[in-house]
Amino acid sequence: MAANDAVLLRSLELRLLRCSLPSDYPFKPSSADQSSPPGAHLFPHLHHLIDDALVLIESGQFLQALASSPASRSLFANLKLEPSDSAHHFYCETLPQCVSSFLDIDGSADSVELGYKALLVMTVGVAALFAFTQCNITGPLDNLPLMPLVELSVHKDETGGGDWKEWEAWALKELMSIGSDLCAKFCNLQYLVVARTLLMRTKDVLFEGNSSSIDGVRSISWWLARALFLHQKLLDERSSFLFDLLQVNTHESLSFLGTLEKIKDYWCAIEDCSTILSMLHLEVGIQNLYYGRVDTSKQHFESAAEISNYNFFVRGSLGFRTLHQVEPKAQLRLVAGTNDGDTSAPVSHKSSITDNYPLQQPSEVYEASDILMIPRFVADEGQSKGVEQDTQNNAIAASQLNAVHQAVILAQCLSMEKTARNDELQISYSYSSDEAPVDL
């Protein structure tokens, strides 16, 4: 693969991954992407298609990227959706065959073209995954068509909405076919089926052709693991089948991207390396925790904390959480540690509180609630600082929490909830990220 094309493909793949990761650094196009004329790479048309789809995804237009972008029209150019087709035939045969035909692994396509095509399919699949996540989890609720690819149907005007309801019912049965009902009512299930099918078929084709390590697709196992875990979260019971698939895909993800050196060698994104690796370990840890593998999940959480320079610790403290509380109660409290690991007192940081992070008084409450915005803690023995100075130090620590640190904190909350006793003293947490209690 030409060096310039390798850099361009990796840059496009990184843009797609960044759409799902917190980043403290603004996106910067690669030097090759900025300096290369349109004819400098071998497949400018494919590069343009992927770039257009990424622009739509980055702006939150997931349905357009999935169903009406030039990339999706190129992918589904030969897709035939007849009025007599069943959902099972379309999703289990027609759609996978369309992906295989587009990738043309047995044809004359070299690794450069295959990399572009695989990344294009992966981008469309991720758009479907984002669309499903948006309408069921994050919002806002969009009026999405039941059939994700209805705009690409050659007979879309001949197929009524009632048929798509039957297809949606099939998608429900398909997701429950591994032996569990859904835990709640979800909508637009076909989007998850499309995402899973596109990602899984692309990965299968690449691995069958021994092309799993080509540029542009190193993160496909990570994306597929996300789709599979989302499927698991919809179910009322844990699935051993999905667990086995998740183990395979997370192992492959860690194999390709499991160290800072591997990420730096692949993307050369020095400022984002720790974020990418920390989030990978966090997601793998959460998956293991969900299946009850507490020790394994703890190892991944510790790795994420170490990689992200997380320096906060949990300790016990007596404090007041509500305005009318008479006696202090024992709580678990997150405090910042010093460079030498001492957590006996809150840290006094060199940085100061900025104007956009105003210090709140301990007695301030939120609107009509009697819960204190900043809990008041009883001063520890041997400390000369009062509650106000203690609060100030914690607010300074909070101002230094980036998105990854907050994710690590939440992951630790989940881990502690799994292992601690189910009583008020064990599940009431106060965090200096916002100095408000979080009840799990």
Between CA 212 and CA 208 the distance in angstroms is 9
Average pLDDT value for residue range 350-354: 34
**What pLDDT is stored for residue 90 in this prediction?**
94
The span from the CA of 77 to the CA of 56, in Å, is 20
377/135: higher pLDDT: 135
Q: What is the pLDDT of residue 390?
A: 53
Looking at residue 365, its pLDDT comes to 52
Mean pLDDT of 99-128: 88
Q: What is the pLDDT of residues 8-30, one digit of tens each?
A: 999 999 999 999 998 665 555 54
**How far is CA 238 from its chain centroid?**
20
* Model pLDDT, residue 143: 85
**pLDDT of the residue at 209:** 75
Which pTM does this prediction carry? 0.83
Q: Kindly write down the DSSP assignment for every residue of 103-142, as one continuous string.
A: HTTTTT--HHHHHHHHHHHHHHHHHHHHHHHIIIII----
pLDDT over 80 at 233, yes or no = yes
Q: HSE-up of 86 (CA within 13 Å, CB side)?
A: 6
pLDDT at 428 over 70: no
pLDDT score, position 372: 84
Indicate if the pLDDT at residue 350 is higher than 50. no
Token pair 């859904």 in the structure block, residue: 182
The pLDDT of residue 348 = 34
Looking at mean pLDDT, say which of 37-41, 280-284, 377-381 comes out highest: 280-284
Res 147: pLDDT: 92
Residue 323 structure tokens: 């305005």
CA 272/CA 278 separation, integer angstroms? 10
Q: What is the predicted pLDDT for the residue at 161?
A: 57
Q: Tens digit of pLDDT for each residue in 386-415?
A: 444 455 455 545 556 889 998 998 898 888
**Comparing 165 with 5, which gets the higher pLDDT?**
165
According to the model, what pLDDT value does residue 160 have? 52
pLDDT for the residue 376: 83
Higher pLDDT, 311 or 177: 177
- Min mean pLDDT across 22-36, 210-224, 276-290 is at 22-36
- Those residues whose C-beta lies under 8 Å from the C-beta of residue 122, and which sit 6 or more positions away, are 16, 198, 199, 202, 217, 220, 223
What's the pLDDT tens digit per position in 305-323? Answer: 999 998 887 777 888 888 8
24 burial (CB, 10 Å; 0-12 / 13-18 / 19+) is: exposed
Contacts of 120 (CB under 8 A, 6+ apart): 46, 49, 50, 53, 71, 74, 75
Q: How far apart are CA 224 and CA 221, in angstroms?
A: 5
- Calculate the alpha carbon distances from 347 to 304, 335, 340, 350 in Å: 22, 8, 11, 10
Lowest mean pLDDT of 256-270, 340-354, 393-407, name the range: 340-354
Q: What is the pLDDT of residue 382?
A: 42
Q: Residue 436 — very low, low, confident or very high, per pLDDT cuts 50/70/90?
A: very low
Distance CA 187, CA 41 (A): 41
Q: What share of the chain has pLDDT > 70, as a percent?
A: 74
Q: How far is Cα 120 from Cα 127, in angstroms, rounded to an integer?
A: 11
Length of the chain: 440
Q: Give CA separation, 264 vs 48, 202, 353, 421, in Å.
A: 25, 25, 34, 42
- Residue with tokens 């078929």, as numbered in its chain: 201
Measured CA distances, 329 to 198, 264, 385, 424, 430 (Å): 52, 47, 20, 10, 12
pLDDT for res 2: 62
- Mean pLDDT of the chain, nearest integer: 81
pLDDT at 168 over 90: yes
- Classified as helix, coil or strand, 57 is helix
Question: Which of 68-82, 88-102, 110-124, 343-357 bottoms out in mean pLDDT, i.e. has the lowest?
Answer: 343-357
